[in-house]
Structure 1
Amino acid sequence: MTDIPERPALARELPPGGFRHFDLVMAAFVAVWLLSNVLGAGKVAQVDLPLIGPWPFGAGILFFPLSYVIGDVLTEVYGYARARRVIWVGTACALFLAFMSWVVVALPPAPSWTNQPAYEAVFGQVPRIVFASIVAFWAGEFVNAYVLARMKLWTAGRHLWTRTIGSTVVGQGIDSLLFYPLAFWGAAGWTTELVVTVLFTQWALKVGWEVLLTPATYLIVGGLKRAEGVDVFDEGTDFTPFRVRA
């Protein structure tokens, strides 16, 4: 019978003084998520690829995948329950951002201020895009956290790269499959071909980002585990997403 490899010699429970860096990781996660909504949602950029020609892609690919990398770090170091709490915090912040964007855009501009059309173009995302973004984020992040936590048990905590990449393949796939059809299917300027092209391009680029950032993920995860003195395994964890408390 093959022996199960020993797990790292780190504590399994919350340190007596609490976590030292959890709040910073949570803040980074929420910041990237909000920035992706403000700067990246809805804009399609294009590059000319050799032998292929013009190829469109969503501008949010430049930084949105970082939320999944940070999500992997959260689940790997702090466990699914605390990652779940952060996902709910991010969702609440996104809803507040969407509401306040609507309020500010709806405010009547001063007669001397002529930038209302540009302001609406940047911050006045249609409710359909906001809804699609929040639904896709919520579902994708929970799937990402669940797959990573389960794979950590299956691998006995070894081979981190398999679960960071594997969870991203599934989580980002769910995210893209939900967001682009919900946000742009049938919308002006978005043909079916463009929706499908951008969807699969985004998914492939997001997974590619995860692969490229794997060395950095190893460094961050290792440093946080040593600093916090824990390595959480989700044995007996209630994996329902419909809880906020860790």
Structure 2
Amino acid sequence: MTQTARSYKYYDLIMAAFVCVLLCSNLIGAAKAATLNLPLLGQVTFGADLMFFPLSYIFGDILTEVYGYGRDRRVVWAGFGALLFAAFMAYVVVNLPPAQNEFMAVYQKQVEGVFGNTWRIVAGSMIAFCCGSFVNSFVMAKMKILTQGRHLWARTIGSTVVGQFVDTSFFFVIAFWGIWPQEQLIAVTITQYLFKTCWEAAMTPITYKVVGFLKRVENEDFYDRNTNFTPFSIKL
């Protein structure tokens, strides 16, 4: 049985929230490496997008658990389309000739510094998130069948462990290899992976509440028993 075309009350809102998080994580936070001194851990370097990017995987878990792999796949492609458009507009804005005045002479360099690497960030995100998110959703869907819908915590954490490993590794190598010092790149990649996975685990109680709420109000609890898991489709 395949997913039928039907309307849902909250599906579009979750899609919009997902796209917003994806854009913010790639255009605002991804290019900045931050360092904090944390209790017990000492000095930790991480990408600033760590504050909100893991939410995209939580959205992916919720979408797969409630609506199924096919509808999560549509949301992922919607996010990629938004990223491509943002990257194109960033390229246009950076390369438009600036007005000839003292303020714009300084401001143009700042714009280039913030958005000049957008193409690499987007390329890294497109490849990494495509691989990571679909792996995450695939593992989530298959584990739901194997566990017969029980142990949601094991599915959300288990799928994230695999998906985030693929995503984080691919993204930082593609986006920042040759830009950041290699030692910093390795440190940030490891930190990002561990922190993202831990955040997913910490958010498990909230994920439970959101999933339970959506299943009740949407009257949906989809099982991907006969789903075509190819990522190269938007069909349900």
Instruction: Classify the TM-score, shorter chain.
Output: over 0.9
Partner of 2:97: 108
CA displacement, residues 137-158 of structure 1 (integer Å, 9 cap, x when unaligned): 1111111111100110011011
CA distance in 2, matches of 1:240, 1:205: 29
> Closer, same or farther in 2 for the Cα pair 1:111/1:49, shift >3 Å?
same
More helix by share: 2
Is 2:177 aligned against 1:179? no
Partner of 2:204: 214
CA distance in 2, matches of 1:13, 1:102: 38
Q: Is the 8 A contact 1:148 1:163 kept in 2?
A: yes
Partner of 1:46: 35
Identical-residue share of aligned pairs (%):
52
TM-score normalised by L of structure 2: 0.93
CA displacement, residues 48-95 of structure 1 (integer Å, 9 cap, x when unaligned): 234654221110000000000011111111000111111111111111
Partner of 2:229: 239
Q: Is the 8 A contact 1:15 1:228 kept in 2?
A: no
Is 2:193 aligned against 1:228? no
Count of residues paired in the alignment: 232
2:47 to 40, 58, 65: 58
CA distance in 2, matches of 1:13, 1:132: 31
Q: Is the 8 A contact 1:15 1:229 kept in 2?
A: no
Equivalent residue runs for 1:126-137 within 5 Å: 126-137=118-129
Gaps of 5+ in 2: none
Partner of 1:138: 130
> Closer, same or farther in 2 for the Cα pair 1:150/1:51, shift >3 Å?
closer
CA distance in 2, matches of 1:15, 1:58: 39
CA distance in 1, matches of 2:55, 2:73: 17
CA distance in 1, matches of 2:24, 2:40: 33
Gaps of 5+ in 1: 1-11
| Segment drifting more, 113-122 vs 75-84 | 113-122
Q: Cα RMSD over matched residues?
A: 1.7
SS of the residue corresponding to residue 56 of structure 1 reads strand
CA displacement, residues 110-140 of structure 1 (integer Å, 9 cap, x when unaligned): 2234211112222222533321122111111
